[in-house]
A = this chain, B = another copy of it.
Amino acid sequence: MIGSIAAVLTTGAFVPQVIKVIKTKDTSALSLGMYSMQICGVFLWLIHGIRINDVALIGANSITFLLSLIILVYKLKYK
């Protein structure tokens, strides 16, 4: 239960950032290094979640992967 709330929060956290980036196309203060590492890391968390069969980890990281990818694409496009 705590894991699920944690998952909703840390995944949901990327939603306002995605909205802000899409609206403003301003990615100047965003770190390319951060989002590159983030995407690799989230992908591995997903595999870890599948291996230990933890629903919170699997659900959260699937969505976070997509949201981080959107931010990374904008960062590369509008840097």
Interface residues of A (CB under 8 A from B): 2-3, 5-17, 19-21, 24, 26-38, 40-45, 47-48, 51-52, 54, 56
A9, A21, A51: most-surrounded residue (chain B CB, <10 A): A9
On chain B, the residues within 8 Å of A48 by CB distance are 2-3, 6, 56
A29–B24 CB distance below 8 A: yes
Among B6, B31, B44, point to the contact of A20 (Cβ < 8 A): B31
Which residues of B sit under 8 angstroms from A32, Cβ to Cβ? 16
Q: Is the CB of A30 within 8 A of B17?
A: yes
Residues of B within 8 A of A5 (CB): 41, 44
A35 lies within 8 A of B6 (CB): no
